[in-house]
Amino acid sequence: MSAAAIADIVRAGDRDRYLSTLFAPDEKRNPLLALYAFAVEVARIPSLVSEPQIGLIRLQWWHEAIEAPATGHPVAEALATLGLPKAPLHALVMAHEAELYREPFSSVTALETYLGETDSAMIQLAAMILAGDGARRCADAAGLGGVAFGLARMLHDPKRAALLPQGFDAKAHAIKRLTEARAAAGNSPAAALPAFLPVSLTDLYLRARPPSALRRQFTLWNAARRERF
């Protein structure tokens, strides 16, 4: 599979993050796409299986691939070239186990842990690709921004929205975390901005209707132009 084919996986599976890579330096784009393709491949497993046990087997395959990439699997091979820490990759795979059982999270803390290990982790890992050691200064903004963006997108996905705790005001919580993320972003290096661009779409997703592709593209372009999400 070529780099273009990996890009196609992200374009089809996570259009928001695909568009954000268009604002990254040329030499960083393929590494970002490899990371995002990994996230897409793992995230789609719960929707592809009818039994939790089958999903667990597929997720276990990814745990093993993180340790020793399966020859011939282009996404796993591309991921291995990035030199990213393995612990957050394993945590992301494990986080998706919760979706296999289709039961609401027991608490806001459990929900935030899940979003932290998925959406927030994507921001922080992307920042490592973009800014190297400077990504350490992104941790707070990445954690908060990932929760805000992840929550907002969950509201437009009926299967994932069903995972929200009973009586939880997801919109209000997303707005709170987005405000906190923007306040924390001043510590982040400029090079990491493309990692955060998807967070700029949070406000759009919190509206009643899903945002159009054109509106999302314009919002990402505007955030990149202003150099803040």
Please write the tens of the pLDDT for every residue from 29-71.
Answer: 999 999 999 999 999 999 999 999 999 999 999 999 999 876 7
Q: How far apart are CA 134 and CA 18, in angstroms?
A: 23
Q: How far apart are CA 176 and CA 171, in angstroms?
A: 9
Domains of the chain: 3-226 (1.10.600.10)
Percent of the chain residues topping a pLDDT of 70: 99
Select the more confidently predicted residue: 24 or 69: 24
Taking CB atoms within 8 Å and a gap of at least 24, the contacts of 177-182 are: 177/144, 177/145, 177/147, 177/148, 177/151, 178/144, 178/145, 178/148, 178/149, 178/202, 178/203, 180/144, 181/141, 181/144, 181/145, 181/148, 181/229, 182/141, 182/228, 182/229
pLDDT of the residue at 1: 56
Please write the tens of the pLDDT for every residue from 89-120.
Answer: 999 999 999 999 999 999 999 999 999 999 99
Please write the tens of the pLDDT for every residue from 161-218.
Answer: 999 999 999 999 999 999 999 999 998 999 999 999 999 999 999 997 889 999 999 9
